[in-house]
Amino acid sequence: MDISIIVPAYNEAESLPKLYEWIERVMLENEFSYEVIFVDDGSTDGSWSIIEELQTKAPEFVRGIKFRHNYGKSPALHCGFRQAQGDVVITMDADLQDSPDEIPELYHMVTAGNYDLVSGWKKKRYDSKLTKNLPSKLYNATARKVTGLRLHDMNCGLKAYKNEVVKNIEVYGDMHRYIPYLAKNAGFTRIGEKVVTHRKREFGESKFGMNRFVNGYLDLITLWFLSKFGKKPMHFFGLWGSFMFILGFIAVVVVGVNKLLALYQHVPARLVTDSPYFYLSILAMILGTLLFLTGFLGELITRNAPERNDYNIEKTI
């Protein structure tokens, strides 16, 4: 099979028939063998009935997954990835803002261009500049700095992957925003970008609020930390714990030596415990010890984790 198209859908009943009709036309024009996997993310507007109707009309091309309640886009993609059989996997949103006409070129970039992943870039957007465009630009600039991936629109829903990419990454929580980074960390470094058409929403309204930007930054920090120190937590906690302990110990010694010098020189000096520097030094030593112990416990956990020696092996001979 050439292409698997995964479409997460949450209350998009009005868009689904038109979207499938559009996808079907593009697939037939380009003579692709394909499947469309609709993932109903707990919709309450009859989206699943539409998917069932589409599957009845085209059982060889349409498949569906129905969640009991709304889990989110990442779980929808995760389940879709597990079911995908096509050589190239395309993800796109169900709201008709992603154009199926982009699929053939995305497919050829992966197959002929030898990319592992191609991410769409909605260079010209029709969203509100204040609530979406400006926060999105700031978010993407930060993501480029942290991940090292020169992508202008990492969160674009329209992407193309080699099948082996989606089978070797785990998308969970809200990590769908950072699938290119997940792929990079899994060893799939041939990541490209394509300018794609962004269309105005025809039906309904966006399901994502401003909180996605806050959550996005928190998820980015989590991914960065796990990629750097996930299997070696002592390298982070132990380093900074040791630094803080040593700094606090030196400060305590300085406070103590100053007191002893004052006593030796018969100079009046207040009690060591009256100095705020004494308590700050003790605090630094305690925090340093706690950080060190955190790293030590993290090492014990990772060394006993069943996936501690899970590696992405590309080839063996």
pLDDT digits (tens, 9 = 90+) for 203-259: 666 655 556 667 777 778 887 887 778 778 888 899 999 999 999 999 888 888 888
Residue 149 sits in which domain range? 3-229
Tokens of 91: 């993800």
- Which range among 43-47, 88-92, 184-188, 298-302 has the greatest average pLDDT? 88-92
Residue 101: CATH number of its domain: 3.90.550.10
Tell whether 54 and 107 lie within a shared domain. Answer: yes
Per the model's pLDDT, the better-predicted residue between 312 and 149 turns out to be 149
Give the pLDDT of residue 211.
65
- Is the confidence at residue 51, as pLDDT, over 70? yes
The pLDDT confidence band at residue 129, using thresholds 50, 70 and 90, is: low
| Residue 315 within a domain | no
Triad 311, 315, 317: Cα angle to 5°? 125
CB burial string 179-205: b at 16+ within 10 A, e below: bbbbbbbbebeebbbbebebeeeeebe
Confidence of residue 305 (pLDDT cuts 50, 70, 90): low
Total count of domains within the chain: 2
157 with 283, same domain: the answer is: no
Q: Which residues contact 9 (CB under 8 A, 6 or more apart)?
A: 15, 16, 38, 39, 40, 41, 43, 47, 51, 94
CB neighbour class for 267 (10 Å; exposed up to 12, middle 13-18, buried from 19): exposed
Write down the pLDDT at residue 200: 75
CA angle 2, 191, 317 (to 5 degrees): 70
Residue 87, domain member (yes or no)? yes
Q: Are residues 67 and 101 in the same domain?
A: yes
> What's the CA gap between 118 and 109, in Å, rounded?
7
70 and 208 both lie in a single domain? yes
pLDDT at 113: 87
Of 210, 229, 248, the residue at which a domain comes to its end is: 229
pLDDT band at 317 (very low <50, low <70, confident <90, very high): low
Predicted confidence band at 131 (pLDDT cuts at 50, 70, 90)?
Answer: low
Mean pLDDT of 195-204: 78
Which pLDDT value is given to residue 99?
Answer: 94
Dihedral (C-alpha) 149, 164, 6, 193: value to the nearest 10 degrees?
Answer: 30
Question: For the chain, what is the radius of gyration of the CA atoms?
Answer: 27
Flag whether 262 is in a domain: yes
Q: What's the average model confidence in pLDDT over 50-58?
A: 95
pLDDT surpasses 60 at 128: no
Query: φ and ψ at 9, to 5 degrees?
Result: -140, 130
Give the percent of the chain with pLDDT over 70.
89
Q: Are residues 163 and 246 both part of a single domain?
A: no
Name the one residue in this structure whose structure tokens are 């593009």: 26
Residue 141 to residue 146: CA distance in whole angstroms: 9
Mean pLDDT of the chain: 87
- Read off the pLDDT of each residue in 20-44 and give the average, rounded to a whole number: 96
pLDDT of residue 271: 78
316 domain residue, yes or no: no
